[in-house]
Amino acid sequence: MQGRYFYDALSAALSNFSAGLAGKTGKAQYLKEPFRLTPKSKEEIEAENKRKLEAYIEELKMYKLQFDANKKERH
């Protein structure tokens, strides 16, 4: 497991370093959460799916607002 963390850290660092050499900003990030060693419970899966659905709905609302604003500008 320790090797996996090291691999991910090194991978993110090298990716960002090489992007910096090319004059760009690297977007690679290290892990935000530790690796899970146990399977998720049904409640955790349902809560995660609910969060994803709510985020998707908010994204669609933003697209609608942008569409409506562009439509008003054209008319």
Model pLDDT for residues 1-42, shown as the tens digit of each residue: 889 999 999 999 999 999 998 888 889 999 998 999 999 999
The pLDDT value recorded for residue 49 is 98
Whether residue 42 sits in one domain with residue 24:
no
How many domains does one find in the chain?
2
Q: Considering the entire predicted model, what is its pTM?
A: 0.54
Structure tokens at 38: 């146990």
Whether residue 29 sits in one domain with residue 59:
no
User: Among residues 36, 37, 14, 42, which one has the least CA distance to residue 26?
Assistant: 14
pLDDT in tens, 40-70: 999 999 999 999 999 999 999 999 999 999 9
Residue 62 DSSP SS3: helix
CB-side exposure of 32: number of CA atoms within 13 Å?
2
The pLDDT value recorded for residue 1 is 83
Sign, CA dihedral 59-61-62-66, equals positive
How many other CB atoms are there within 10 angstroms of residue 31's CB atom? 11
Whether residue 66 sits in one domain with residue 45:
yes
Q: What residues make up the domain containing 16?
A: 1-36
